[in-house]
Structure 1
């Protein structure tokens, strides 16, 4: 039986780039020391899908690119089992990225998205912890945008479950809270959304901005979910007190699904 010849990328983001053709054929991987247009195309796709990549698409492989690829791989392995969270670009990862990245010039993701319902209740936000992304939905359940986040460190993890926006703090209130709690008025960035559990219990967690954007995409917080200041402005303007926020490990969490029919 003749060996199956790997197909080149079909998403026009990745076509016509010799180094990506070599990755697709299994002849090479893109990792430490790599630079060039192929890597820049991959970085741009990751940014457009909402993965953290501080410094942007510079065409050079470094720690930020490794982190972004690893977070994408944590996401992709749920639908592409051959993918492994190595932080390097190999053939299985490129095949997954080819299928999941939007068309050139677009943001978001055409498939493998979370549902905007948690245990049958509509949510406005889904936070996917393992891939470090926050999904914002409009009131009708349509995806608005995807933002990178940073979540709790191993000793202070962000707890999964259904949360509710309890209060919305503007910049002055966020800075006052930072000065009071951490002696740093910039620690919460420009906005803060305080969360409670769905049953009303205080969670001690928030959606907020950050004064350390290079740490987005990592497990570094005391349990809160950090975002860029640009992203948290969008979240703050979009959400109201009482809106639900689902925090899950992966986008295929069994709590996420279609709404429960009204009897």
Structure 2
């Protein structure tokens, strides 16, 4: 999923201007002209289980375009998958917008945050409130953010390329946080064969990216696809990081053995930082794209 972003530093986004308290406004064209969202913004209604309509569909599509998993797509009907995606967005947004609560229901605070953080219609990704692409100053190609169930793929210069939904380890088999390294890549035939050998079926999807710890010691974790896409966005794995099968192919194609992967609890992990930019007036001979 291409991300129309510049890999901005993980600083809180500025809240949108809402006009007077008597007439709040939505500014993102995704939402600005939808009557069923006016009541939500005014605090007179919420979107939750059972809600239907164009406002629900607009919220769903915005979340999908930001990389939050929602099996079944934007159908305009608010069900369990929508509740999960909204909850994961709220976990993401609340450090920049403290009034947002992780309820799984779209209220006024959640709608305002989504209005500010989602890009314009037809665009995918984010430009604000992002994780850095360095972990303890080490450049990484991937940042897996466990609490919001998203995987951020960066290009070699540290610019955000794509955001994908994921599923991480369960309460009893947690995905370990820290700096990992790509040590191997298994193609479709190898992934299917390993899945059949270990679990009796093609549970790993069409690709596996094997990870070690940064020092080369075995981590027992991988990035891979899934045979259960409805579980993306949850804590359900045995420690590996699952992705949609289209997503894992994109990740597999982008990564090389030796690339670094950071797994963090949240985008506010203190080990994350953004790449330095070249001083003003100094040519950047590395070909890096400066964050802006």
* TM bucket normalised to smaller: over 0.9
Distance 1:216 1:42 in 2: 18
How far does the alpha carbon of each residue in 1:174-233 deviate from its partner, in whole angstroms, 9 at most, with x for none? 11111222122x100000000000011110000000011011000100000000110000
User: Residue 125 of structure 2 corresponds to which residue in structure 1?
Assistant: 108
The structure showing larger relative contact order (alpha-carbon pairs under 8 Å, at least 6 residues apart) is 2
Distance 1:152 1:78 in 2: 23
Counterparts in 2 of 1:211 and 1:119: CA distance versus 1, 3 Å? same
Q: Is the Cα–Cα contact under 8 Å of residues 157 and 223 in structure 1 kept in the other structure?
A: yes
Mapping for residues 1-263 of structure 1, pairs under 5 Å? 4-5=21-22, 7-184=24-201, 186-259=202-275
Q: Is the Cα–Cα contact under 8 Å of residues 135 and 146 in structure 1 kept in the other structure?
A: yes
3-state SS of 2:269 partner? coil
Distance 1:33 1:146 in 2: 28
Listed as ranges, the gaps of 5+ residues in structure 1 are none
Distance 1:258 1:109 in 2: 15
Alpha-carbon shift at residue 7 of structure 1 (Å): 2.1
Alpha-carbon shift at residue 42 of structure 1 (Å): 0.2
Alpha-carbon shift at residue 5 of structure 1 (Å): 3.0
Distance 1:134 1:258 in 2: 16
**TM-score, with length taken from structure 2:** 0.86
Distance 2:70 2:275 in 1: 34
3-state SS of 1:165 partner? strand
Listed as ranges, the gaps of 5+ residues in structure 2 are 1-19, 278-292
Distance 1:92 1:110 in 2: 20
**TM-score, with length taken from structure 1:** 0.96
